[in-house]
Each structure stands twice: as C-alpha cells, then as structure tokens.
Amino acid sequence: MKPRRLGNVSIPDEELIKDKKECKKIGPCGIGKKAVYLSSFYIDRRYYIPISSVKRIFKRIAMSKGGFTGKGVFGTLSYLVVVYEDGKEKQCNFKHEEDVDRFLAYIEEEYPDIPVHSLEAERKLAEKERWLAEKQRERNVSEETKRCLVKLEQAEQYLKKQSDIYMDLSQSAKKKRTYDRSNPAYKWVALAIVLMGGAAFVYGIYALTTHAGFGMYFLLFGLAAIFLFAGANVLPTSKNNKNYIEKRLTESISQMEEYIRVYPDFPVPAHYAHPIVLKRMQEIMKEGRARNIPEALQVLKKDLKALNSSVVVEKEEYDEVVAIKPMFLVMDYK
C-alpha cells in the first residue's frame, strides 16, 4: 500500500515505494533515506513525511487515567511526535517505549541535524550545558581532566554511529532486570488463566451453536482473558524465559565487545558502553566530582545506586537513568 503524504512536499511514487520497502522498521513507524513513515491508528507506516520537511522528532509520554490515579490497569503511554514544515505535528502511539527510544537513536545516528528533543527539553538541556560550562570555568581544570573529557566525548560519538548495538545492550539488560524481579508464579497463573480463557472461548462457541444459555458470556470472557494476558508479556514463551533473556544479554555484550575492540583503549567496559554513560561521566568531571575516567565511573555508579523510586528527577534525567541503570544492576555494579 502506498503511504499517504503529510504536508506539501511529495516524493515520486516509484522512489516512495522503493524507499518504504527498504526503510528501517521500528515499531509501527519507519525511517528511510527519503522519508519517515508514520502510523495511523490502525495501519503501520500509513503516512510519510519527506526528510527535508522534518523539523524535529521527539518522545512524548502521556499518562492514562489509571496512571494518574494509581487504580487503573494502564500507566504511561508512549508517543513519537514529528514536527514538520511550519510547525505541524503528527503523533504516533507506540506499544513499547523502548521502540520510541530506538527510533530516536537511529534518527540521531542517520540524521544528526534533526533535533530529537522537544523545544522545552532542548531549553533545559541548554541551561544545563551553560551551568556545566560555568562550573568548568570556575574551576582550574587539569590537563589530565581535559584529556579525559575529550576521550569520553570521542568515545560517545563512536557509539552513536551504531545505535542498534547500544540499544540492544540497554534493552536486553532492562529485560533481564524485569524478569529477575518478577515473581515466577505470576507467569504460570497467567498461563492457567489463558488456558481457562481458551476453554471458555471454545465452550462459548459450542454454546452459541447449540443455543445453550450464557454462551456469549463464556465467549467474551475467553477472548478477554486470552487478549489481556497474551499482550501483557507475562506468559512464559520462547522469548520470555530465563535462558533466552540471559542469552540475549550475553550476545548483546559480545556484540558491543566486538564493536569497541577496534577502538583504541575504550574508556569503559563493554557492558557499560552506552552514550548516556559517557555523557554523564563527562558531566561528573565538569562538575569537579572526578579528575579522571575511573573516578568518574565510580561516581556514576554511586549516583545510580542512590536513585530509587522515592527520588524525584526531571523527565530528561529519568529517561537517561532508565536507559542505563539496568546495565549496572544486572552486572552488580562491577
């Protein structure tokens, strides 16, 4: 299906069809050489916006009613927002927030001139940069620290050239952390409920065909149970079990080790190799809390250990912590 244009700029049909076919698909959207492809409510990659028309792309997190009250089933809702032409916006809902992060990381890798933060987030980040620069000017930064800062920045840029590798590492660590903290009994309870739902669904069909009472109720209960738990990532499956999750983490670390092997004296171990880790280490050194790279890594570990559910942080910092803290937790901060 040929995607529909958003905005005033068109791409010739032949180029468009080829570009959509070859685009990198992430969640319901995609990134091509000519355009970004965005979803409608029901259809993946239903629309397109030429890259030349895109002004910025960023993540928006909304809370459902249940998320605000704490009594509902749903919590945060993740959206990808594309600003194009003269300020028009197209918002796409993503089932998994990590897919939004992966989309933005790939945009940053392939199209570094496209901002990946909202105007408000960009303003806050600029304020933080000015504050860090001021702190650095106030201090007499040693030549060793300056060399370390350059080294960390260069390593950060090197990682950003392959967003899939560090995103796989972050997400596989997050998956393992989530699995380790979940009660195994919940998975089998969910499986039992799904099986009961399947049985109720089958009986509901039988009851409807034989005109027995309550057939529709059994049918609806069965469907509800199946769809609820099948979509909740609770059931033990071929991709949601301990062996698979640990294997994915090991493979992600090995992939990162292979990538940084050609980089001379990479500043952090492969299992911590993420641009946000290197960025926060630079900030620590600019604040004067560390003089060299090993010290900065130790301070970062201390900072992450101190952050828990009772600590209130800005959304931008929250996103960073969520991305990297599982990597440290699954390695026990070693």
Query: Does some domain include residue 327?
Result: yes
Do 38 and 146 have their domain in common? no
Instruction: Tell me the C-alpha to C-alpha distance, in Å, between residue 323 and each of 119, 145, 172, 173, 226.
Output: 22, 26, 11, 9, 31
Q: Tell me: do 157 and 302 sit in the same domain.
A: yes
Whether 127 is in a domain gets the answer no
Least confident of 106-115, 140-149, 157-166, 217-226: 217-226
State yes or no: pLDDT of 96 exceeds 50. Answer: yes
Q: Please report the pLDDT score of residue 99 as a whole number.
A: 93
Calpha distance 80→36 (Å, rounded):
12
**Residue/partner pairs of 232-238 with CB below 8 Å, 24 or more apart:** 232/190, 234/186, 234/187, 234/190, 235/187, 235/190, 235/191, 235/194, 236/187, 236/188, 236/191
Are 168 and 314 found together in one domain? yes
Task: For residues 195 and 53, give the distance between their C-alpha atoms in angstroms, rounded to a whole number.
Answer: 49
Exposure on the CB side of residue 240, measured as CA atoms within 13 A: 15
Judged on CB neighbours under 10 Å (0-12, 13-18, 19+), 94 is buried
> Is 330 a member of any domain?
yes
Whether 205 maps to a domain, the answer reads yes
Residues 200 and 321 in one domain: yes
Say yes or no: 75 and 213 in one domain: no
Helix (H), strand (E) at residue 200 = helix 184-209
Greater model confidence, 294 or 65:
294
CA dist 107 and 37 (Å) reads 12
- Please check whether residues 202 and 244 belong to one and the same domain: yes
Residue that terminates a domain, selected from 69, 92, 110: 110
| 286 in the same domain as 228 | yes
Mean pLDDT of 136-160: 89
Average pLDDT for 274-294: 94
Least confidently predicted of 107-116, 168-177, 197-206, 274-283: 197-206
Written as one letter, the residue type at 189 is V
pTM score, whole prediction: 0.76
- Read off the pLDDT of residues 31-66 as tens digits, 9 standing for 90 and up: 999 999 999 988 999 999 999 999 999 999 875 444
By residue range, what is the domain housing residue 40? Answer: 4-110
* One domain, residues 89 and 186: no
- % the chain with pLDDT above 90: 57
Q: Are 19 and 11 a contacting pair, CB within 8 Å?
A: yes
Residue 129 clears pLDDT 70, i.e. is over it: yes
Q: Are 48 and 6 in contact (CB under 8 A)?
A: yes
Spatial strand order of the sheet with 4-5 comes to 4-5, 47-50, 35-38, 29-31, 24-26
303 shares its domain with 172: yes
**pLDDT beyond 90 at 190:** no
pLDDT value of position 244: 87
Contact between 290 and 280 under an 8 Å Cβ cutoff? The reply is no
| 219 shares a domain with 82 | no
Instruction: Establish if 131 belongs to a structural domain.
Output: no
Task: Give mean pLDDT, residues 267-293.
Answer: 94
| Between 72 and 179, residue with greater pLDDT | 179
pLDDT of residue 68: 38
Answer whether residue 133 is part of any domain: no
Does 192 lie in the same domain as 65?
Answer: no
The answer, yes or no, to whether residue 269 has pLDDT greater than 60, is yes
Given a cut of 90, is residue 214 above it in pLDDT? Answer: no
Residue 98 maps to a domain = yes
**Average pLDDT along the chain:** 85
- What pLDDT sits at residue 307? 86
DSSP 157-174: HHHHT-HHHHHHHHHHHH
Residues 249 and 102 in one domain: no
Q: Greatest CA span in the chain, whole angstroms?
A: 86
Of 57-66, 94-103, 285-294, where does mean pLDDT reach its minimum?
A: 57-66
Q: Specify the number of domains making up the chain.
A: 2
